Structures are given as C-alpha cells and as structure tokens.
A and B are shown apart, each in its own frame.
Chain A
Amino acid sequence: KAGVTQTPRYLIKTRGQQVTLSCSPISGHRSVSWYQQTPGQGLQFLFEYFSETQRNKGNFPGRFSGRQFSNSRSEMNVSTLELGDSALYLCASSGTSGGYNEQFFGPGTRLTVL
C-alpha cells in the first residue's frame, strides 16, 4: 500500500502571497488531519476532515483553511502569508470513522516564507 503523499515537498513564498498544499491519504482512509511543526511552537493541530466534513479545528487564524474532496484527498490553504507561517506542514490519514485508529503521517511540506 502506498503511504501518505504530500505535494510539493518544498515551497518558497513571499509575505502576502497565498499557498495551497496537497495531501493524498492512504487508499481507503477517509480521515485526513493537518499539523504545523515549528521549532518554537512544536507540533500543533490545524484541522481534521472526514468524508468532506471538518470535524475538528485547532486554534489558528482564519487565514488557514482546508477542504477534502470526495476521493479523500485534502488541501490546505494559507492566505496572506506571514514570516511566522514558515514551518513543516504534516498531513496524516486514518482509517476509521470514530474512536481512534492509527494516524499515518506523510513526509511533510516544508514552507519557507521570505
């Protein structure tokens, strides 16, 4: 089974621009979660989607948004980029609808904002 894939792997943007990151979950997984990883704040939860519905959202400004498509692929968008948005963005997929099942992480997208 192919793992979680994230594209692009690296991205450089300038302040004020917007960016879209993509995540393809493991085949058959319907839950996709996004996390931001920075040296200062560590790993922080952004949001989680299941069957195209957002079930949980972290404490991030509205500039951060996401969506999930009918094939379970997910995208996250950051508008009006700030220097502090530079981070590794990790996507994880999971197979069940409730309770808890293992989250499988992708390699991440490294975003640098100049």
Chain B
Amino acid sequence: AQSVTQLGSHVSVSEGALVLLRCNYSSSVPPYLFWYVQYPNQGLQLLLKYTSAATLVKGINGFEAEFKKSETSFHLTKPSAHMSDAAEYFCAVTRPNDYKLSFGAGTTVTVRA
C-alpha cells in the first residue's frame, strides 16, 4: 500500500520568501508522486509529477520538487512566494497500474504581504 505524510497543516510565508512544503511517502514499489494545488471552491490542479525520470522535477508557476529515495521524500519548493500562491497543496502517490491516487492531508499556504 502507498501513503503520503505532509508535515505541517499550515504554512505562512512572506511575499518573496521561500516556500517549502514537506511530503514523505511510503510505498512497497517505486512510486509515482505528485503535487496538486486547490484554490477555494475549485478542483485540483497538477503542479508537477515524478514518474521515475529526472529526480528534480519542475512544474508550473515556478514550483519544483526533488525525489529523494534515501529519505523517501518529495518536498515542494518555490524560491519566491507570490500572493497568488495562497492555496491548499496536496501531495499524492500511486504506483503503475494502480488506477488511484492516495493523498496527503494537505498543507494550507498563506502569503503575508
């Protein structure tokens, strides 16, 4: 079975500061990992995905994440936060041919002016 743990349910950053959201996974087989963002009253939008190619993955809106097998981590970063980054972020895991995503509990990001 696969699972993910997101450390920190709320993160507050200043505009222009580094955004770091932590995700650790558990999987019995090489996983596929994802970060999604959800704005209020909307569905989920994919930020980036790791599917066993490059371990440093670049996504949309300036986000990137690094897959570290030794640490079973897939942390999401953005060098400089923007007010529009305020949202809820979800880390998710699946495995080939599993046909479902297992999500973390989510991290809400607030950006201070």
Residue numbers of A with Cβ under 8 A of B are 4, 31, 33, 35, 42-45, 48, 50, 55-56, 58, 90, 92, 98-100, 102-108
Contact = CB atoms under 8 A, between A and B. Distances in A.
Nearest to B43: A105
Given A56-B98, A56-B99, A42 B51 contact: no
A107 B90 contact: no
Interface centre among A43, A92, A106, A108 (most CB of B within 10 A): A43
Nearest to A97: B97
B80 to A, nearest CB: 26
B97 A99 contact: yes
A43 B103 contact: yes
Interface residues on B, range: 20 to 34
A25 B100 CA distance: 16
Contacts of A42: 103-106
B68 to A, nearest CB: 20
B94 A90 contact: no
A79 B103 CA distance: 26
Given A42-B105, A42-B106, A43-B90, A105 B99 contact: no
A100 B94 contact: yes
B67 to A, nearest CB: 15
A79 B14 CA distance: 46
Contacts of A90: 43-44
B100 A48 contact: yes
Nearest to A110: B41
A33 B43 contact: no
A106 B103 contact: no
A3 B32 CA distance: 23
Given A55-B99, A107-B43, A108-B42, 7 more contacts: A4-B43, A42-B104, A43-B92, A92-B44, A99-B96, A100-B51, A102-B46
- The 3 A-B pairs of least Cβ separation, nearest first, read A105-B43, A43-B103, A105-B44
A44 B100 CA distance: 10
Given A100-B32, A107-B43, A50 B90 contact: no
Given A100-B32, A100-B94, A102-B49, A45 B100 contact: yes
